[in-house]
Amino acid sequence: MKNSLNKVALFLMAAGLLVLISSCEGVKKKSRVNVGDDTINTGTIHVSIDESFEPIIAEQIKVFMSQNSKATIVPHYKSEEECLKDLLSDSTRMVIVTRGLTEQEELFYKDTFMFVPMWGKIANDAIAVVAHNKSKDSLFSVAEIRSMLNGTSKYPYELVMDGLKATSTVRFLIDSVLRGQNFGGKVLAASSSEGVVDYVATHPNALGFIGVSWIGNKDDSSQLSFQKRIKIAALQCANCTEEVYVRPYQANIAMKRYPLNRGLYYILKENYAGLGKGFINFLTHEKGQLIFKRGYLVPDRMGFQIRKANFSE
C-alpha cells in the first residue's frame, strides 16, 4: 500500500512538472520581444519602411543618427504588406506604413507578444498623378481617375503603379477610389516608385501614381531631375465651392483640398524604452516634423500655418 502511495505521489509530481514546463515554454513562445541592450539613443534596430516614403525617411534616419553617434537604424524599404508581415519577425522592431492597426490586429498582437504595439500618425501624405511632359491632359477629376482604373474610360492611358498588389499606393486606390473594386483598366506594374517615373518619362501615353515625397522636395537634386522629365497633374478640388483643380502641394493636403490624401504611421514593437522609442520621439517632435515639412509632407504633430497672400505683377 505504501509503495502504491509513493508511486501515485511521484506520478503527480511528474505531471505537475510537465504542466509547469509546458506553461513556461508557452510564455517563452509568446514573449517574442524582450528587453534589449539598446537605449533611446544607443544600439542598433531594424525598421521596415513603405518604399513610397524612402526619400523622406532616409533623410530622417540620416539626421537622427548624426545627432546620436552610438545609434544605428537599419532601414529595409519594401511594400506595405511586406512591412506589416515583418512585425512578426524577431529582427524587426518597427514599421512605417500608411495605416495603423485595426482592433482585430491589436488583439492578435496582444495575444502573440503579450502587449499591443504602439502606433500613431506622424505626417500626412498624398498620391500624385504624374504624366509625360508632352501629355495634353493634366487636369482630371476623381471620377475620371476611377473610370480609368476600372476600365470604363475613353482615355487611352496606361496606368503605372509601384506594383500591382501589396503596395500602399495600390491599396489606397482600390479602397478609396475604386471603393473595393479590382482594377479593370490597363494597369501596369513598375518595380519601384522611381520605376514609375522612368516609365512615364519615356511613354507619352502613360499616367503614373506615386507618393508625393518622391517628387515634391525642390531642395533634392534627384527630385528636381524627376520634375524635368514628367509633370504633375492637377485633380478636381475635393473641398471647394467652385470647380477648380489643385496639385498635391502642402497647403492643399493640409486643407484636404487635394482628394488623394493619406496618412503616414509608425507601428512600434517595443515594450521598453529602447531605440525605437527614441526614433519615434525624434519623428514626432520639432526636428523630425520640420524634416517632413521640408520634404513636402504635412507634419501631423506641429502647427501648419496657411496664410493668404496677394500678388501683383
pLDDT recorded at residue 10: 47
- In this prediction, residue 179 has a pLDDT band, given cuts at 50, 70 and 90, of very high
In single-letter form, the type of residue at position 309 comes to A
Q: Could you report the per-residue pLDDT of 48-83, keeping only the tens digit for each?
A: 999 999 999 999 999 999 999 999 999 999 999 999
**pLDDT(307) > 60:** no
User: For residues 182 and 309, what is the distance between their CA atoms, to the nearest angstrom?
Assistant: 43
The domains found in the chain, sorted by start residue, are 43-124+262-299 (3.40.190.10), 125-261 (3.40.190.10)
pLDDT recorded at residue 228: 72
Percentage of the chain beyond pLDDT 90 is 71
- In this prediction, residue 24 has a pLDDT band, given cuts at 50, 70 and 90, of very low
- In this prediction, residue 8 has a pLDDT band, given cuts at 50, 70 and 90, of very low
In single-letter form, the type of residue at position 32 comes to R
User: For residues 280 and 77, what is the distance between their CA atoms, to the nearest angstrom?
Assistant: 18
Answer yes or no: are the C-beta atoms of 275 and 73 closer than 8 Å.
Answer: yes
- Nearest to 268, CA basis, from 102, 154, 116, 117: 117
Average pLDDT score over the chain = 86
**pLDDT(284) > 80:** yes
Alpha-carbon distance values, 192 to 62, 120, 122, 257 (Å):
22, 26, 23, 27
Coil vs helix vs strand at 118: strand
Q: Is the dihedral of CA 241, 243, 249, 253 positive or negative?
A: positive
**pLDDT(93) > 50:** yes
**pLDDT(31) > 90:** no
- In this prediction, residue 186 has a pLDDT band, given cuts at 50, 70 and 90, of confident
- Of the ranges 29-33, 133-137, 197-201, 272-276, which one carries the lowest mean pLDDT score? 29-33
User: For residues 254 and 237, what is the distance between their CA atoms, to the nearest angstrom?
Assistant: 13
The size of the chain, in residues, is 313
Answer yes or no: are the C-beta atoms of 45 and 94 closer than 8 Å.
Answer: yes
Q: Could you report the per-residue pLDDT of 258-277, keeping only the tens digit for each?
A: 999 999 999 999 999 999 99
Please report, in angstroms and rounded to a whole number, the separation of the first and last CA atoms in the chain: 110
**pLDDT(33) > 80:** no
User: For residues 236 and 63, what is the distance between their CA atoms, to the nearest angstrom?
Assistant: 37
User: For residues 213 and 128, what is the distance between their CA atoms, to the nearest angstrom?
Assistant: 9
